[in-house]
Structures are given as C-alpha cells and as structure tokens.
Structure 1
C-alpha cells in the first residue's frame, strides 16, 4: 500500500486559514484518503481535519510597536513550528500569507531540510515595499501562488521565484457582493447609503474612528444627505461602540460577514481604510475614498519603504489610481470630506471608478478553475 502523502500547512491569520481550508478540501478530493495534514491553522482548517500546533489568535499582532512585547512568544512559536515541520518530514510545506512569521519558518526549514518543497500561498507585497524580498525568496520558496493578477509579472521583474496567478477568493463571491434588482433600487435611492469601514483590528479602530467621525460631521454640517452604515465583526463591537460615543452623526452598526455583504450590495459610496475591503468594494461596484493612518513607528518605516504608486488594493488591481487615497498626515477630516462628497455626487470621479470596477471580472479572471483548484494543482505538481 502506498504511504499517504504528508502535507504541512502554516496559516496564522483568519484570511489565510480560509485559504488553507479551501486548499485542503481540494487536495483531499484529489488524493482521497491518501493524504495527511499537519501544521498550524484556525477554525476553518480544523473543520477540514487539521489539529493546530497552537491557537493562531496568539499571533494576531498589528503594528510594529506591538511586536517587542510579543517577541518571546513569537520566537517560541517559530521554533516549535520549524521543529514540527522537520519532525514530520512532509512531502511539501505550504506557507500561507503572514510572511513575517511563515517566511522565517520556510527559511529555517530550507536550511535544515533542503529537499522539502516549499510553496508560498499569497505573495508578500514585494511590488509595494521591500522589493528585494522577491529575489531573496528564490533561496527558500519553490513556487508562489498569487492572489493578484499583476504579481507574476512583479516577481519576474524583481527576480523572484516562479509565480502563478491562481485567483483571489473574491472572484467566487461576486453573487454575495453585487445587488439584485431590489438591492440596486435601494443603491440608487435617496438618501444615498454610505458605508464606513474603519478597519478589522483594534489598532485600526483606534487610529481611524475619531478622524472618520469628524469627517462625517463636516459632511453633515455642509448639508450633505446620507444614511450611514458601519459594518464590523463581533470581537470589535465594544471598541466601535465606545468610539461612536464621540461621533456627531450615528451610523447603523451591522455585525458579521453576512450583514456586511448585504450592506455592500445596497451601498452607494464608502469611506474605507486601505486593505482588502477596497477590493471587495470595487468588486461590489461601490465608489469609495481610501484612507490609512498608523502609529508613529509604523508611519516612519512605511514612508521610507513604499515603492508602489498606490497603497489602495483596488487601484493596484485595476491598474490606475481611480480611488483617492489619504495616507498618514493626509488622512484628515479636512481632506477626506471633500473627496467623500465627490463620490457621493454625480461626478466624473464617481463615474471613472464605476467604469474601472466594471473591468475587474476580466482583469481577475482565471479561466474555469477556482483559486483553490488552481492552487491545489500546483501543490500536487510539486509532489510528483
């Protein structure tokens, strides 16, 4: 009897956990009972049969200033994960996003067990900052599975490892993000429904809520009509509620992914912290203003290392800066309010965004294969 294939996966954030679970599902469909999974993951990967080495919530760290306090724990988990890979001697190691942790694991494994193939699912943002990482990855990564269509070209240009665009999970979720006839009618109705997305981490809430609230207060003072909705997740409700006490205009707060997607389907415009949500809004066809404000240490480092023309993911994917972005000192009510007023009106800026977002289906297409199927095929090719 052929021994089962052993696949070791490392995902330390919720988004990576979802990618890992989808990949595991397809691999099990292809390999049947002839596969064993080990590694680090969250609840989604647990449902597919993974017993995680430790709870991934331990590594949910945001901002450079938070790292020193957590460093002893991070280093301990890094040693444990590397040791577990070496002990398991898997047929392949798949690291999923979270490059500050997973790439350290990969480098250590490559030094001590160079025969284990290593796949990186989700490219680091080498096209945005620290481009030298791409060439360095050739020393310990055998293949990169890219979520964004421009990333293979970026790795070729920067001397990175082989890289294949397998697709972003959002391309399978368009029905959940785009309105039906009734929802489109609400999107077109008055007053316009305005979404506010301050972030998915407590540090982001802390940095954005006061600024976003003051921005909305300015709009209200200027007589701009809107119905305000703020989507968030259960673990952030207390932080959001505390910050909202200072807002001059109160939103309707909706909690959870289901209600967030429902809000996207009826929204007319959005004020959004830069990140994946900007691409979600673009797929949903919602014009927006992008913003980001971080801590002082983070701002100092990022200002010196950003190399891309935009930090807004929606802009990078459509290939032009259609979403206005206000970063660090530019993230102020005085600058955000006029831009937000622009996307709430029948303006050239709004129309330009709508036309650009309409191209996303073509830009992000992968053919017939879903992202998880495309990813699984490459993983399987490296097993043989």
Structure 2
C-alpha cells in the first residue's frame, strides 16, 4: 500500500514594517515555487497578503519607529506581541520566520521559544548589531536558530559577537540591478523640464516624519549655502505617499527649482541623471550606489535614541561604505551634519573633480560586493525550507 502524501508545510511569518512586507512577499513566492502547497499564517502587510498570507491584524498596527514612538504605543504593542506569539504557538508551524522590525519580532520570538522550544525560528534580516547594541547578537542565540543576512559582512560580525549561526543570502536590491540599468532617464528630464546646463542634485531626507524633523533644517540650510556660493542647481526630492504632502509644502521655500517625485521607476531614473545626492543614512545609499550616483551621507538621531542605543563605533555607518569596507562616501553624522560641512562636500561632487572621480570608481565596485550566484529570495527560501523539513 502506498504511503499517504506528506502534509503541506506550515510556515508562520511575522513582519512589522513595509520593507519587511516586501521581503516576506518575495520569500513566500520563492518558497511556493520550490514547495507548492505551503500554508502561510502570521502577520504581514499588503504584499504578503497578496502572496497568500491571512494576516492576524493589519501590519500598520505595529509599524511604529523609534524609542519615543514605541514608548507611546507600548500597551498596544505588548498586546499585539502576546497575540502574535500565541497564534504561532497554536498554529504549531514547521518553522517561524521573523522579518526585520526587531523591537516587535524579537519579542514575539522570545515568547514562542519559552512556550515551544522545539519550534525552529529563523530571523530574516539581521539587526544592526555592527552599529549599536552589539550585545544583542549573543542574546539572540537563545531564541533564533539562524539569521539570514542581507549584507556580506554580517556573518563575520555575528561570529565575532557570539551570535546565532548567520548565512549571507544576498540583498534584494541586487535582483533589481538589471531593471535599474534598463531604465532610460532622459524621459524624466524632459517631463520635468530639467536644464542640461545645471547640475541635478538629489535630496533624500528620509521617509519617516521623525527623520524629516531632524534633517530638514540642515538640508535646507545646505541648499542655501550652495546658492550663496554661486551654485545654480535643479533639485529632485524622491519621497513616499505618507509624507509627500509635507515635503511638497516645505520645498516651496527652497532656493532652487525643486521637483517632488513618488514613482519608484522615476526615483531610479533621477538617481541615474543626478550629479550628486545628499542622502540620509540607510538603504538608499545602496540604491544610489547601484545607480552609480555620487553621494554625501548624513544623519542625526535624537537624544532619546542615543540613550537607548548604547552606540558603539562601527568603522562606517553608510551601508554602501560597510559593503565596500572603506569610507568611499563621506559620512557627516550628528555634529557634522551641518551646512558648513555638507555644502563644501556636495560642491566637490557637482563638477569633474578628483573627489567625484574617486567616488565613481568606488561606485563601480558596489554591485560585485553584494552579488551572489543565487537570487536572494531563493537563497533565503532554501534556508527556511532546511529548517522546516527537519
């Protein structure tokens, strides 16, 4: 008599931010392509829902960023943490995958591990233990069976800090490199009426209201300093829907013709057209690097965040620099995030200077530094299946 067919795998996923929702959706599609019939449950956003997840509650319920916001919403977040962990325990999945958003997902993972130490837990996207709160790496060993890293240096960091087993699966941006390369930027120039005589500057102060509050002042003062020294520029500010209205109102006071764009393809077209970018530290530095755009990286965190973070001193803060293992792109953080330093650094990139040539050489090395033979979503899916099938 033939053996009964194996039951479908059950995978419980937890994502807490829009970036995690995108990663989770790609992971789910890669998993289904390799093992049709997988049953998904957990918490996710619209992309994961579209890929087949029946989310316990809207992901927007838990998408709060920063220590101050977390404190304000703490009772609600704690309730959602309990509900999510209990749902995972009751679902008895073959594997749990927590995706980014460590302030939420790691608390869920710890509760699951206490109640069901037999359930395997995979952490997709390493917390930034190389930048701050490095002690988290060792603590994660108690409730994470494997970390799937987006950045090539992270496995070595976890090994050095005593963290869980960590595997580099590749950054999802590398999957988009060919799409970025195929974009024709000239149509955007014509649609926006950009001058071929003036350099184009990108200004990227972040997509969160807290980032805008901290960076808008120094970025605006930097533009005013550039105008005072005789520069004539066109400016583009790529943004997202939730802050577009704020950005459009504020750029009215800027000293150069400024265009606000939201479309993602247009964002990368602008990256390819621009002479330089003034960018908040984050994933956007890798996006700029893949598009070949020279940049100055700047950031400020509030005092409360500094108290919570117990900052250590990594060699670099910008992801593009960390990937290369060198400070190829200037990092002007905290006290250095002022127009007196930002404006001269940007001016050195707006014309053919040795600094610009040096950055262009470094930009050409970034794609190779993060590329892998296997697409990242497939590499991540293979590791998740390895745990699910145990």
Report the TM range for the smaller structure's normalisation: over 0.9
User: In the TM superposition, what whole-angstrom CA distance separates every residue of 1:291-314 from its partner, at most 9, and x where no partner exists?
Assistant: 112322124444x41321221111
- CA 1:178–1:344: 2 relative to 1, 3 Å: farther
Contact 1:92/1:117 (CA < 8 Å) preserved in 2?
yes
Is 1:135 the counterpart of 2:128? The answer is no
Quote the offset at 1:130 in angstroms.
1.5
Give the secondary structure class of the aligned counterpart of 2:340. Answer: helix
- The one of 71, 79, 84 aligned to 1:81: 84
Q: 1:370 aligns with which of 364, 368, 375?
A: 375
Question: Which secondary structure state, in structure 1, belongs to the residue aligned with residue 57 of structure 2?
Answer: coil
Conservation of the 8 A alpha-carbon contact between 2:195 and 2:234: no
Residue of structure 2 equivalent to 1:175: 178
Q: Does the Cα contact within 8 Å between 1:210 and 1:246 map onto a contact in 2?
A: no
TM (norm. structure 1) is 0.94
Residue 326 of structure 1 aligns to a residue whose secondary structure is strand
Give the structure 2 partner of residue 293 of structure 1: 300
Tell me the CA shift for residue 341 of structure 1. Answer: 0.6
Range with greater deviation from structure 2 (237-246 or 197-206): 237-246
Match of 2:251 among 236, 244, 249: 244
Task: Give CA deviations for 1:32-85 in whole Å, capped at 9, x if unaligned.
Answer: 12x100000001101111111111112222222222210011101000000100
Q: Does 1:274 align with 2:281?
A: yes
Out of 368, 382, 385, which is 1:380 matched to?
385
Match of 2:290 in 1: 283
Determine if contact 2:204/2:237 at 8 Å carries over to the other structure.
yes
State TM-score, norm by structure 2.
Answer: 0.93
Distance, in Å, in 2 between the alignment partners of 1:247 and 1:363 is 37
- 2:122 aligned partner: 119
User: How much does 1:117 deviate?
Assistant: 0.7
Q: How does 1:308-327 map to 2 (within 5 A)?
A: 308-327=314-333
State whether residues 235 and 259 of structure 2, in contact with CA within 8 Å, keep that contact through their aligned partners in structure 1: yes
Displacement after TM superposition at 1:241 (Å): 2.1
The answer to whether the aligner puts 1:13 opposite 2:23 as a matched pair is: no
Provide the secondary structure at the position in 2 that maps to 1:124.
coil
Residue in 1 aligned with 2:225? 218
Superposition CA RMSD, Å: 2.0
The correspondence of residues 198-217 of structure 1 with structure 2, limited to 5 A, is 198-217=205-224
Contact kept, 8 Å, 2:184 with 2:269, in 1: the verdict is: no
Closer/same/farther in 2, CA of residues 200 and 64 from structure 1, 3 Å limit: same
Q: Tell whether 2:161 aligns with 1:158.
A: yes
Shift of the 318–183 alpha-carbon distance from structure 1 to 2, 3 Å rule, reads farther
Instruction: Report how far residue 350 of structure 1 moved.
Output: 1.7
Unaligned 5+ segments in structure 1 are none
- Provide the C-alpha distance between the structure 1 equivalents of 2:362 and 2:204, rounded to a whole number of angstroms: 21
In the TM superposition, residue 143 of structure 1 has moved relative to its aligned partner by: 0.9
Over 3 Å counting, the alpha-carbon distance change for 1:184 and 1:161 in structure 2 is: farther
Pick the aligned partner of 2:203 from 191, 196, 208. 196
1:279-302 residue CA offsets vs partner (Å, 9 max, x unmatched):
110111111011112322124444
- Partner SS, residue 120 of structure 1: strand
SS in 1 for 2:253: coil
Conservation of the 8 A alpha-carbon contact between 1:195 and 1:230: yes
Structure 2's unaligned 5+ residue stretches are none
Matched residues in 2 for 1:39 and 1:67: separation?
21
Task: Measure, in 2, the Cα distance between the counterparts of 1:94 and 1:310.
Answer: 29
Shift of 1:171: 0.4
Q: Is the 8 A contact 1:195 1:269 kept in 2?
A: yes
Q: Report deviation, 1:353.
A: 1.6
| CA 1:315–1:267: 2 relative to 1, 3 Å | same
- Whether the aligned pair in 2 keeps the contact of 1:230 and 1:251 (CA below 8 Å) is yes
In the aligned structure 2, how far is the partner of 1:56 from the partner of 1:347?
A: 46
For residue 27 of structure 1, what is the aligned residue in structure 2? 31
